[in-house]
Structure 1
Amino acid sequence: MTFKHSLLQPFALVALFGFSASALASVTISVPSDVKVLAVNSEEPELSGGIFSSSKSVTLPDGENQIVFRYSPVFQQGGDQTTVNTDAIITKFTASNTELTLEVPEYRSADKAQDFDNNPAWKLVDEKGNAVDVQQDKLIKNGIQLGRQYDAESIAYNKKGGIAAIAPTGASVAAVSAANVQVPVNSQYKTTEEQMLHYWYDKADKETKQRFIQSIIQVK
């Protein structure tokens, strides 16, 4: 063994053990295929496993976490498939260095699965089969459901202080800060959104403004 290799070996071992410790110090949630994770700690979720996997998982830091999910079971009725899309559930829980499984009830028909909205009997269980204490609520949006931004809706929910609210962290802090920008009141704008649009446009440089105008033209 050369002197160079003898020096590298201890550092490699330290790095290996350090990585192993950091990998263990986290919370992993296994999610069944009929559950859609929509947001994690007010951010878009990063799930392991492919689209067609029977189960997926998400890794979270130790401590208090929040996830948004929807139970969407699929039923075969005759020659057709029916998917039940239940209300979005927002929940918080506290766990450390463990592997959890999100369990949902099994229904025999689409009609019975609709009962999930009235009685969301799901649970998080640890490796020993013990249920983890959770606080849950529904993330409701009236009107058109397409194109919902669950990360932004989670931020708004947390600001209101719902039962499943958590303190903003990471990227959500920046989003909250942006949402809290104080814009001078101007009566010429009909909505806050319109006022904010003009506010940020005026803040942009010349090139950004030009790209923005071009994108509007292309949409039209």
Structure 2
Amino acid sequence: MKFTLPLSAALLAFFTSTTAIAANLTIPMSFEYLALDGKEVDTNMFSHKTNLSLENGERKIAIRYHDLIDDDFSDGQSFVKSSPFIITITVDGDHEYQLKPADGEFVKKPKSFAKDPQLIISRKDNGSVNYKMTQTDYKESSFISNLFNGNKGEDIDALSASATDSNTKAIPVVAVPTSATVAATAPSSAQVAPVPAVAQAGDKTATHPEQMLQYWWLQADEETRKEFMSWAIKQL
């Protein structure tokens, strides 16, 4: 009985010290975590994961720009996505890191940014940050290709996990820029990306053909809409 208190205190001290050494990276709402050190980050379309806990050492994080923007063809909105990019960062303490666009808190030109992401990672205590950004060339196939040609899109999450795995020998990338507090720049093959080819289970918009077409039209990007219109005209 007399050992209970010292043991509890020791365990409390251990877990407190373990928690204290973890750093944290915060991303804006318009970005999403894909993978960390070879493992997919558990996220879903209904909630946004803003913070990611990081242990000391070199960490590799796959992130993607993903935002909803006003549509050029209608009063609705559509998605814009970049290809995943890999942040390699050296964590040396329980710091609070923040990722943001290089030109401010918000992305001013979403489509241009998706093609050429420029980022800054800083620390809340204004300390130096040792990091670099690597832009991948991973793409998701378009909705039209999936629907009419039977193509399967790449598993972006799995590819991102592989790219952040330290045991991976090679990563298909297009550039390897930068270091602390300097905006990352990369020639990019990123493009406005369509939403998944299959509507979510239970989605009421999928109950009637006309509603489903309207649903996908509002979700599709400009390139996908052009593909669809070209296909539809040939069917007349």
* TMscore range, shorter length: 0.5 to 0.7
Given candidates 117, 124, 130, the residue that maps to 1:127 is 124
In the other structure, the counterpart of 2:3 is 7
In the other structure, the counterpart of 1:107 is 107
Corresponding residue pairs, total:
155
CA distance, structure 1, for counterparts of residue 68 and residue 114 of structure 2: 16
Unaligned runs of 5+ in 2: 142-152, 178-236
Aligned-pair CA distance for 1:117: 4.2
SS of 1:32 mapped into structure 2: coil
CA distance, structure 2, for counterparts of residue 135 and residue 38 of structure 1: 17
CA distance, structure 2, for counterparts of residue 123 and residue 80 of structure 1: 31
Given candidates 147, 150, 167, the residue that maps to 2:155 is 147
Tell me the TM-score normalised to structure 1 length.
0.60
In the other structure, the counterpart of 1:52 is 47
Aligned-pair CA distance for 1:153: 4.1
Name the CA shift for 1:147/1:103 in 2 (closer, same or farther; >3 Å). same
In the other structure, the counterpart of 2:229 is none
Alignment of 1:61-140 (within 5 A): 61-77=55-71, 79-96=75-92, 97-104=94-101, 105=104, 106-108=106-108, 112-130=109-127, 132-140=129-137
Aligned-pair CA distance for 1:94: 0.3
Q: CA RMSD in A?
A: 3.0
Identity rate, percent: 15
Unaligned runs of 5+ in 1: 165-220
SS of 1:21 mapped into structure 2: helix
Alignment of 1:165-184 (within 5 A): none
SS of 1:37 mapped into structure 2: strand
CA distance, structure 2, for counterparts of residue 27 and residue 133 of structure 1: 14
SS of 2:40 mapped into structure 1: coil
CA distance, structure 1, for counterparts of residue 25 and residue 140 of structure 2: 31
SS of 1:73 mapped into structure 2: strand
In the other structure, the counterpart of 1:171 is none
Name the CA shift for 1:34/1:143 in 2 (closer, same or farther; >3 Å). closer
CA distance, structure 2, for counterparts of residue 60 and residue 35 of structure 1: 17
Bigger relative CO (Cα 8 Å, ≥ 6 apart): 2
